[in-house]
Amino acid sequence: MTSPFPASPARSGSEIATLRKNLRNARIAAREALPPTTRAALTARIETQLDALVARLAPMRLAFCWPWRGEADLVPWVRRWLAAEPARQAALPVVLNPAQPMGFLRWTPDAPMATDHHGIPIPGGDERLAPDLILVPLNAFDAAGYRLGYGGGYFDRTLAALDPAPPTVGVAFELARADTCWPQPHDQPMDWLVTEAGCWRTSA
């Protein structure tokens, strides 16, 4: 397998950090600029792709993220997924301690909610859940499944700490696709990628 960490052209750590920051900011800005009707139409196409993939992978405990900064809103889709089978469970990732792996707290459509330090809704309860599939939002991604999040490294730490790690599905609008995300040795690639254009097993 070709290494995702090319030695050439040589770039310094600061150059790579700048490239990653600029790519992240540009793709977030492009996503936030989508008209609401366009975002809704693209999200509906993503839901169709998720229907097929999740039926194939057949998880019973699914983790997903509350939408932030124009991300695809998967909350209605997760509600439908839960309603189709009473034994299914869903969870949201929560930062329990700074610079530590996240935990997953159970979410239900009628669950009382709190907010984290970013103002993102999180479950108000404390019931932990071990997901067997994780849907991960992507600010930018490449064909190998490497992603750019928001720069905190929480998903990378969390996936590295899970043993065994459940399959991951990176979810994004196609506008997040890039030739490379300049992955670093600690970066954890996604197993699957889903956009409005399709679903792919990654090459990582």
Count of structural domains, the chain: 1
Does residue 160 surpass a pLDDT of 70? yes
In a domain, 6, yes or no: no
In a domain, 4, yes or no: no
The pLDDT-based confidence of 1 (bands split at 50, 70, 90) is: very low
Q: pLDDT at position 5, please?
A: 45
Does residue 89 surpass a pLDDT of 60? yes
Q: Which domain holds residue 99?
A: 13-201
Does residue 200 surpass a pLDDT of 80? yes
- Check which CATH number belongs to the domain holding 166 and give it: 3.40.50.10420
pTM attached to this predicted model: 0.91
Q: CA-CA distance, 27 to 25, in Å (whole number)?
A: 6
Indicate the burial class of 143 (C-beta count within 10 angstroms; 0-12, 13-18, 19 or more). Answer: middle
Q: pLDDT at position 3, please?
A: 44
> CB neighbours of 7 closer than 8 A, spacing ≥ 6?
none
Share of the chain above pLDDT 70, in %: 94
In a domain, 5, yes or no: no
In a domain, 119, yes or no: yes
Average pLDDT for residues 142-167, to the nearest whole number? 92
